[in-house]
């Protein structure tokens, strides 16, 4: 009962990941859906699995949340082995899927209380938690309404609230904002951010929206044809691909001319008096450009740095123009 491992001040092991997986594979018949997925997701972070329709996102969530078995590979969720300790995993996670668990014949409050019963909370504790969640998600006023009257955004919020009744440490959100209007989407984003900031939970979310991954995730993995073809922070992914540049605007055509002669590889735009100089967006690169301008006494008016966005990243990585479902069009979702 003296010093414990966890209080060791130096050389502490990194915390166990919330989710770790190696070589997850899954086929349906002769269709290979997941072709060897490795994951390592630290506790208290948001991980986004980004991919077009049919990429295997839901299949991954179903495996990691013990709903279906992988054909091969191993995984640990909340430090528990996914198959050898499946019950323990289930008790520590929450899952909200593309298809809502909300019962339309019940009121919002009844849905939450039903969930509290399923988690064996006693009546008063269940009520307390249900009311807290209704307040937190701005649903108190509609608590007594049957959910058949709810908008898509309200339903998603209730669905997430129902997941939170069990106080999960790891939450899987399968396409949490697909089909929502922009305003409901923003509300959902705020809720997700608050969950991580206030409760320290780990979030594994899937999305077809590049912007959503960029907005929410600490790390993003791009899933394409059953493989993770890239992984990193949004910034790391953006840096991996060409297309970044510095745009310099000049006072007049003469200065533009001179600069174009100096920066041979740059693209010039006569109308706007600008030069686009390829750049990785790094400080040394920016400094080199500024130093060159200064040394040659070219008069530049203004300068902007353009880093590629995730759309560029996906197109570069997959080499395909606009993969089906990756754009913000719900048409492919039918």
SS (H, E, C) 154-212: HHHHHHHHHHHCCCCCEEEEECCCCCCCHHHHHHHHHHHHHHHHHHCCEEEEEECCHHH
Q: Which member of 45, 58, 163, 318 binds Mg ion (CB under 5 A)? A: 58
Give the Cα separation of 40 and 18 in Å (integer): 8
* Backbone dihedral region for residue 325 (phi beyond 0: left; psi -120 to 50: alpha; all else: beta): left
53 interacts with ligand ADP by CB under 6 A = yes
CB of 97 to Mg ion, least distance (A): 8
Instruction: Restricting to residues 11-40, name those near ligand ADP by CB under 6 A.
Output: 28, 33
CB of 306 to ligand ADP, least distance (A): 30
Q: From the list Mg ion, ligand ADP, none, which binds 308 (C-beta under 5 to 8 Å, kind-based)?
A: none
Closest CB to ligand ADP among 154 and 222? 222
Query: Residues in contact with Mg ion, total (CB under 5 A)?
Result: 2
β-bridge pairing 93-96 and 80-81: unpaired
60 interacts with Mg ion by CB under 5 A = no
Q: Decide: 113 and 101 in contact? Cβ < 8 Å.
A: no
Among candidate residues 163, 156, 162, the one with its CA nearest the CA of residue 94: 163
Q: From the list Mg ion, ligand ADP, none, which binds 56 (C-beta under 5 to 8 Å, kind-based)?
A: ligand ADP
β-bridge pairing 219-224 and 202-207: unpaired
178 interacts with Mg ion by CB under 5 A = no
Closest CB to ligand ADP among 72 and 197? 72
178 interacts with ligand ADP by CB under 6 A = no
58 interacts with ligand ADP by CB under 6 A = yes
213 interacts with ligand ADP by CB under 6 A = no
Stretch that binds ligand ADP, among 57-65, 79-87, 209-217, 272-280 (CB under 6 A): 57-65
CB of 28 to Mg ion, least distance (A): 14
Report the side by side order of strands in the sheet with 170-174. 93-96, 170-174, 202-207, 46-50, 219-224, 227-232
Q: From the list ligand ADP, Mg ion, none, which binds 166 (C-beta under 5 to 8 Å, kind-based)?
A: none
Give the Cα separation of 94 and 265 in Å (integer): 52
63 interacts with ligand ADP by CB under 6 A = no
97 interacts with ligand ADP by CB under 6 A = no
Binding site for Mg ion (CB under 5 A): 57-58
């Amino acid at each position: 009962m003296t010093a414990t491992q966890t209080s060791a001040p130096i050389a502490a092991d990194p915390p166990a990941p919330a989710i770790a997986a190696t070589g997850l594979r899954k086929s349906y018949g002769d269709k290979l859906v997941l072709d060897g997925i490795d994951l390592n997701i630290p506790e208290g972070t948001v991980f986004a699995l980004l991919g077009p329709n049919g990429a295997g996102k839901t299949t991954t969530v179903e495996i990691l949340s013990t709903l279906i078995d992988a054909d091969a590979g191993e995984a640990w969720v909340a430090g528990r082995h996914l198959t050898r300790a499946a019950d323990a995993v289930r008790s520590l996670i929450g899952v909200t899927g593309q298809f809502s668990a909300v019962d339309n014949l019940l009121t919002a409050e009844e849905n939450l209380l039903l969930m509290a019963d399923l988690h064996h909370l006693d009546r008063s504790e269940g009520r307390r938690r249900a009311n807290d969640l209704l307040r937190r998600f701005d649903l108190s006023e509609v608590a007594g309404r049957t959910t058949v009257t709810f908008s898509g955004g309200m339903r998603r919020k209730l669905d997430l609230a129902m997941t939170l009744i069990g106080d999960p440490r790891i939450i899987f959100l399968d396409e949490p904002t697909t089909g929502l209007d922009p305003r409901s989407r923003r509300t959902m984003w705020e809720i997700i951010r608050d969950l991580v900031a206030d409760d320290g939970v780990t979030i594994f979310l899937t999305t077809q929206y590049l912007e959503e991954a960029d907005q929410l995730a600490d790390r993003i993995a791009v899933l394409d044809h059953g493989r993770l073809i890239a992984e990193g922070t949004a910034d790391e992914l953006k840096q991996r691909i060409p297309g970044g540049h510095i745009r310099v605007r000049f006072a007049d055509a003469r200065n533009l001319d001179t600069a174009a002669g100096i920066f041979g590889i740059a693209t010039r735009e006569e109308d706007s008096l600008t030069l686009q100089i390829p750049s990785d967006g790094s400080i040394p690169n920016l400094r080199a450009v500024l130093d060159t301008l200064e040394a040659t006494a070219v008069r530049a008016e203004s300068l902007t740095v353009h880093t590629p966005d995730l759309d560029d990243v996906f197109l570069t990585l997959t080499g395909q123009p606009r993969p089906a479902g990756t754009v913000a069009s719900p048409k492919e979702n039918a």
